[in-house]
A and B are shown apart, each in its own frame.
Chain A
Amino acid sequence: MAVALILVLVAVGSVAFHLWSPWWSTPIASNWGYIDDTINLTFWITGFVFVVILLFMAYCVLRFRTRPGNRAHYEPENKRLEWWLTGITAIGVAAMLAPGLVVWNQFITVPRDATEIEVVGQQWRWSYRLPGQDGRLGRSDVRHVSAENPLGVDPTDPQGQDDIILDGEDLRLPIDRPVRVLLRGIDVLHNFYVPEFRAKMDMIPGSITYFWFTPTRTGTFEALCAELCGVGHAAMRGRVVVQTQAEYQAWLVGQRTFAELGAAARRAQASAPPPERDRYEEASR
């Protein structure tokens, strides 16, 4: 009796917790509502199965608990029942997998008009690069990384000269414009994770990875590192500011390009060089 009751309580308590606990997904700020829908669908299907099975178990424990003179029913197999259960399970699994794969296809199909931006991770901070007037990011290589060129942009590539480098600053994005986020790691694995955007991906030194999304809500969002990257992992934070088109353009005009920064850096080097992070912050103001 007690055991059956506790099994029922586990089922009911889990559902109640799911419905009424204060901990739930952050309000979404990107186009990936379909991901949330797939999660909710999965919650419904799996929650139903969980409750049904637990209640059946509770029923069995209550009803078939040993009594004097009782004997179990001897039935080694029941092919019909087993195939029915297999079939129903397969349908339930397909009902979750099919929408999941459809949404995954959207997730990996980047729209043609998406703007490419770059997020660079290194222990333990984020930097960003936006394409300049030509709309293209210049080549980069870890071998070019130096104090003056923290993201390793190829100084000989003309496309990189007008790139905008944001080092120690917030990333800014215009609302409702799809972005393809290129991810680059300089030292170890990192993962650029903004919970409100739902999308995330690891960055791997030596490769360039990506994900895409469209910001759908203005505001400031916190970015975290979601792939263990050493002792400073939890402190590797950044911010993404989603702005209206007009605000974004106004901000963009004031930014300096890679070429301008290089010139500024060379001038600064002639005098006493301050630490590089401060220098870039000054340069950007």
Chain B
Amino acid sequence: MTTKIVQTKDLHKTYDKNSARPYEALKGINLSVDQGEFVGIMGASGSGKTTLLNILATLDQPTSGSVEIDGQDVTNFSSNQMADFRSKKLGFIFQDFNLLETLTAKENIALPLSLQNTKAALIEPAVKTAATKLAIEDLLDKYPNQLSGGQKQRVAAARALVSNPSIIFGDEPTGALDSTNARELLDTLSGINNQGVSILLVTHDPFSASFCKRILFIKDGQIGDEIESGDKGRNNFYQEILEKLGTFEQ
């Protein structure tokens, strides 16, 4: 039996609960991500996908329901527990890279390990390994402003990988890249996924989504539909996503 990396039960999130007009962003989400899966979450603006990602990433807490990540119930963590959990178990890739421009690529990548107070002797090889996976060994001593958009995003991916997280969360990671660089990054993510790392990608871009193995469609705070790539091949899957989006959003 495969282990579940992420599992949510009846997840609800209501904003401004005590106000005259409370807003229910999530209305009972049940989803699970298996170990080594590459799952995409698609939906229009305002569908609740960012809220969902924030809760899964322990940046926010649900109003009701529960979230389990890597076998741990994170629903009622304190803010310190949440922070420690993020630094040890989760990796992040953001749309706008979010690298610190005063640090070299190497220092940027090492940051999650430093935060866990990993010994200096162990940081060096871990950074090397992550850099090798993303083919950026030559860029380690460069500062972000000396790198191209694609290179920056690969450094960001290396930072997400360096602490061997249980799962990597991507929030529109190709949003700021041109098509060549976007393609390269998605190939890299697929490669990482093939080595057994679980990835959860939030996107509204069908091309990015076509690299996933399974896609959940979210609308008005609920999961509406789900499709799997199976053996269809990426091009066919891409067509299927386009068709789905066409019918789903109506």
Do A and B bind? no
Which residues of A are in contact with B by a Cβ distance under 8 Å? none
